Amino acid sequence: MKRVCLLSLSTLLLTLTTFSALVSLKESRAMEPQKDKVVHVPGDPVFDYGTEPIRYLENDRLKLGLNMELGGAVTYLEDKANRSGNMINSCDWGRQIQLSYYSGPHPFIGPNGEKPSTTWAGLGWNPIQSGDCGGYRSQVLSFKKISDDVYLLRARPMLWPHSGVPAECVFECRYQLIDNGFILDATIINNRSDKTFYDAHYQETPALYTNAQWYKLVSYLGDKPFENAPITTIIDKNDQKGWPWTNYYTPERWSALVNDDNYGVGVYQPCSTFTTAGFHGGDEAKGKDLGDKSGPTGYIAPLEKTILDWNVKRTYRAIFIVGSVDEIRSTVYKYAKNDVPIRPDWSFEKDRQNWSYVNATDQGCPIENALRINLSPEKQAIAQSPGVFWKAEKAPILEIEAEFIPANEGDATDDELTIHLYPVSPSDFLDATERSRRAEARKADPSIPEYPTLPRVSKKASVQFDGKKRALRVNLDDIDGYSGAMKNVEIVFPQRAGKACLYNVRFLDK
């Protein structure tokens, strides 16, 4: 994956387009489980699933199937009330509903010199839940029924770009049924022998692949989230859209793939406002019942840009919802009341909260009370927030609780930070494919409306490099252009030797 810093929407979408091209379709080199193609890691327990590999969770509305031959990935999802049949595509081992992670190096060479497939070498270190491109399946290490509606499992993933190379990590998955869907709590526990600090990568959190009936991609693209504003149909029949995957900003944190009757499955991921999604197979396949082993497929992956340390333990939550578009959205709204704050508030007590860096590293895991960012006189260090949403009028103050430490005790001095803030733009109201199409069409017809990207707004703030912890408050309401919907913040540090310790970054009302 080409790693490009999140400095603007256009830069982000360039990165996501490259990411989409690389993750593309993990094409069928392992169409059916092959029990003999297993690599066992010494010391790993193995769950004996017997003669029936599928474990089902079921309530009055939903039937969910976890495949023990494929690391516990979801290969079956049925809305019984609507007689949907199975909605999940399993043409190859890169589909299903499954965990997938990305980190360096690029390419990743295995512990015994194993080289990746040339097709997938650009993905770097890429453990996935089902198996690898060579047909070696992942193994479930343990499985436990917690209650009638909760299953818990641990699995040893395989590295997708390789053939028979287990990953130096373990996946934990907790599946819990709700009335009209299920909750996935997904955890990666790393124990990599390579302790290099790799830059943040976009993670699929998680990947969802549907059968061809569920082709129509819908979400909310706009600047009035959670106000029941009209949704956007991103991919529809006969629009020649869907492949390559497209990318978009969705402040309501959900997307859905639905059929001709606007009924299907959605995924809500409260920490993700950027999504890559689409439909592969062409217009002629959209809406057809082709079965769960057919090539055409819908795809959604909420994305988080995250650093995966060699020893990280990291969990995210995704909620899958079946039903009509209105039912999916109303269920999202119910959860979002508790999940989505009015103003961003990041506290770095135990983790990075999905912040990442340009030209910098930190102390690595474990994160304890602060991000201890290494500064350099040779490069300009930048700390970047994840994509979020807030309204400037409700957040006129930015508070940064921090400590700035000079490289030498006698070098205490005043300096300054630069704060960059990025507005939600008209360009965010379109997905990347549609925006590109309209830009091209404008060359022939200038009357076609533009959807511009608004410039960032900035302010400088004085700080003291003296090793003392302070709460710096920056007034934002006097900045020209700081108004309406906003989505990102960056902190640009002085170009000098030393450390910046960030304890909290939060927006406040007066």
Q: What is the mean pLDDT of the chain?
A: 92
User: What is the chain's Cα-based Rg?
Assistant: 23
* Tens digits of residue pLDDT in 320-347: 999 999 999 999 999 999 999 999 999 9
> Taking a C-beta distance cutoff of 8 angstroms, is the pair 352, 299 a contact?
no
Q: What is the spatial distance between Cα 266 and Cα 328, in angstroms, rounded to a whole number?
A: 6
Determine the pLDDT at residue 35: 58
Tokens 């909605």 correspond to what residue? Answer: 87
* Tens digits of residue pLDDT in 271-305: 999 999 999 999 999 999 999 999 999 999 999 99
Asked which of 8-12, 413-417, 432-436, 494-498 is least confident by mean pLDDT, the reply is 8-12
Determine the pLDDT at residue 34: 59
Q: Percentages helix, strand, coil for the chain, rounded to the nearest 5?
A: 15, 40, 50
* CB atoms inside a 10 Å sphere around CB 174: 17
Confidence of residue 261 (pLDDT cuts 50, 70, 90): very high
* CB atoms inside a 10 Å sphere around CB 239: 16
* % of the chain residues with pLDDT over 90: 90
Determine the pLDDT at residue 25: 53
- What does the block give as tokens for 268? 């809500």
* CB atoms inside a 10 Å sphere around CB 152: 16
> Which residues, 6+ apart, have CB-to-CB distance to 122 below 8 Å?
1, 22, 106, 107
> Which residues, 6+ apart, have CB-to-CB distance to 73 below 8 Å?
66, 67, 96, 97, 98, 99, 129, 130
Q: What are phi and psi of 452, to 5 degrees?
A: -75, 160
Confidence of residue 412 (pLDDT cuts 50, 70, 90): confident
Q: 252-272 burial, b if ≥16 CB within 10 A, otherwise e?
A: bbbbbbbbeebbbbbbbbbbb
* Tens digits of residue pLDDT in 128-161: 999 999 999 999 999 999 999 999 999 999 999 9
* Tens digits of residue pLDDT in 472-504: 999 999 999 999 999 999 999 999 999 999 999
Q: What are phi and psi of 27, to 5 degrees?
A: -70, 165
Determine the pLDDT at residue 272: 97
Determine the pLDDT at residue 9: 36
> Which residues, 6+ apart, have CB-to-CB distance to 52 below 8 Å?
none
* CB atoms inside a 10 Å sphere around CB 124: 21
Q: Does residue 64 register a pLDDT over 90?
A: yes
φ/ψ bin of 119: left (φ > 0), alpha (ψ from -120 to 50), beta (otherwise): alpha
Domains and CATH numbers, the chain: 9-339 (2.70.98), 345-508 (2.60.120)
- What is the CB-side half-sphere exposure of residue 415 using CA atoms within 13 A? 22
Confidence of residue 1 (pLDDT cuts 50, 70, 90): very low
Determine the pLDDT at residue 411: 77
CA 65 to chain centre: 23
Asked whether the CA dihedral 405, 410, 413, 415 is positive or negative, the reply is negative
Interstrand relation of 457-465 and 498-508 (parallel, antiparallel or unpaired) = unpaired
Q: What are phi and psi of 190, to 5 degrees?
A: -90, 145
> Which residues, 6+ apart, have CB-to-CB distance to 37 below 8 Å?
30, 134, 135, 136, 137, 164
Q: Which of 155, 164, 102 is nearest to 129 (CA)?
A: 155
Q: Does residue 362 register a pLDDT over 70?
A: yes
H/E stretch holding 206 reads strand 201-210
* Tens digits of residue pLDDT in 45-62: 999 999 999 999 999 999
- What does the block give as tokens for 503? 């304890």
> Taking a C-beta distance cutoff of 8 angstroms, is the pair 432, 18 a contact?
no
Determine the pLDDT at residue 510: 83
Q: Does residue 6 register a pLDDT over 80?
A: no
The pTM of the full predicted model, rounded to 2 decimals, is 0.93
Strands (E), 287-368: 297-306, 313-324, 345-347, 356-358
Confidence of residue 409 (pLDDT cuts 50, 70, 90): confident
Q: What are phi and psi of 300, to 5 degrees?
A: -140, 135
| The residue type at 239 | D
Average pLDDT over residues 444-468: 94
H/E stretch holding 462 reads strand 457-465
Q: Does residue 28 register a pLDDT over 60?
A: no
Q: Does residue 437 register a pLDDT over 70?
A: yes
Q: Which of 475, 473, 468, 474 is nearest to 501 (CA)?
A: 468
Tokens 């979020």 correspond to what residue? Answer: 388
